[in-house]
Chains A and B, each alone.
Chain A
Amino acid sequence: MTQQTQKTTDEEIQQLVIERLNIFPPGMKISIGSSGVFSKDELIEHVKKNDQIGKKIIEVQLSYLRSLKTGILFDE
């Protein structure tokens, strides 16, 4: 039961990140250091594959979502 819940949660996170990437503006490229330069469609593919780049993008998105709980970005 616990494993099933965890699996569902991971899939939900993956889907959330894909949805966030989907509304990324067209014509923009994302430079991720020596990993390379990616279009939003390429990043979505990496997230779907859950490879190293995909995991990095998920980490970036989760890091930001966690920051919203702390209020660090909007305090004065």
Chain B
Amino acid sequence: MNNPSIIVTRPRYELTTNYLYYWAGLIIAEAKKRNFEIFDLKDAKATAGDFAGRVKKKKPDLIFLNGHGSYTAVAGQDGDILVSSGKNPEILSGAIVYALSCKSAQVLGAKAISSGAKAYLGYKEDFIFVYDEQKITRPLQDKTAAQFLGPSNQLMFSLIKGNSAKDAYKKSQRDFKRNIQKLSTSSAPQQDKRYIPLLYWDMENQVCLGNQEAKI
């Protein structure tokens, strides 16, 4: 039996994508531990051509997209569109997809499922996160950003461990909720409570489309 495979796109060209780049690195490290065949399309490799070539050749079990998005598309390096509902949704066919990207679950996600993707997890609206300006050179040490990106990563950790799409979604939702509950306690700094509506926004707009029982 072949090792499971994963394609990760992680462009990096401004602060938001820089944060996603580093946090996606944790997923790659976990996939390595679990002997996944990994295709890390980072920086200038996160382009439409490289992405299409790798996906068509390798037919990955998992696709993890990081980057800016819209209702209909997810982008790679410098905004290069990797996949869009109008052009190439079938490229996601056969895979479980997680898009850490704004809005794409609404149109692209639905189209990907009707075009053969096993499951599409992502966000119906903007994915919002807060970061500490003092930590921009060390995104993994940013405890504020971790409130948002931790629950997001939980979803991928769960999929890599063999959980179903539905269970991965539930675990991510649980972690968003836990962070909200921790910030709601009287011992949490008053200023940090201001993140709660933003966390709830991400939690509320995260969805799992397609076959809920799909797993690698």
Seen from chain A, the residues whose Cβ lies within 8 Å of a Cβ on chain B are 20-21, 23-25, 27-35, 37, 56, 60-61, 63-65, 67, 73-74
Partner of B131, one of A31, A64, A73, A74: A31
Min CB gap B107→A, angstroms:
15
Residue B27 lies at the interface, judged by CB distance under 8 Å to chain A: no
Residues of chain A lying within 8 A (CB to CB) of residue B42 = none
Residue B157 lies at the interface, judged by CB distance under 8 Å to chain A: no
Residues of chain A lying within 8 A (CB to CB) of residue B68 = 33-34
Q: Do the beta carbons of B128 and A33 come within 8 Å of each other?
A: yes
Seen from chain B, the residues whose Cβ lies within 8 Å of a Cβ on chain A are 15-16, 19, 68-70, 101-103, 126-134, 144, 177, 180-181, 184, 189-192, 194, 196-198, 200-201, 204
Q: Do the beta carbons of A73 and B130 come within 8 Å of each other?
A: no
Main secondary structure of the interface of B (DSSP, over half): helix
6 contacts between A and B (CB under 8 A): A27-B132, A31-B15, A34-B69, A56-B126, A67-B200, A73-B177
Residues of chain A lying within 8 A (CB to CB) of residue B144 = 28
Residues of chain B lying within 8 A (CB to CB) of residue A21 = 194
Residues of chain A lying within 8 A (CB to CB) of residue B197 = 20, 60-61, 63-65
Q: Which of B19, B126, B184 is packed against the most chain A CB atoms within 10 Å?
A: B126
Residues of chain A lying within 8 A (CB to CB) of residue B126 = 32-33, 35, 56
Q: Do the beta carbons of B133 and A27 come within 8 Å of each other?
A: yes
Q: Do the beta carbons of A28 and B131 come within 8 Å of each other?
A: yes
Min CB gap A16→B, angstroms:
12
Residue of B nearest to A74 (CB): B181
Q: Do the beta carbons of B102 and A34 come within 8 Å of each other?
A: yes
Residues of chain A lying within 8 A (CB to CB) of residue B133 = 27-29
Q: Do the beta carbons of A25 and B191 come within 8 Å of each other?
A: yes
User: In the bound complex, what is the Cα–Cα distance between A13 and B89 (angstroms)?
Assistant: 40
Min CB gap B182→A, angstroms:
12
Instruction: Say whether, besides A63-B204, A64-B200, A73-B180, A31 and B16 are in contact (CB < 8 Å).
Output: yes
Min CB gap A76→B, angstroms:
10
Q: Do the beta carbons of A60 and B102 come within 8 Å of each other?
A: no
User: In the bound complex, what is the Cα–Cα distance between A60 and B129 (angstroms)?
Assistant: 12
Q: Do the beta carbons of A23 and B191 come within 8 Å of each other?
A: yes
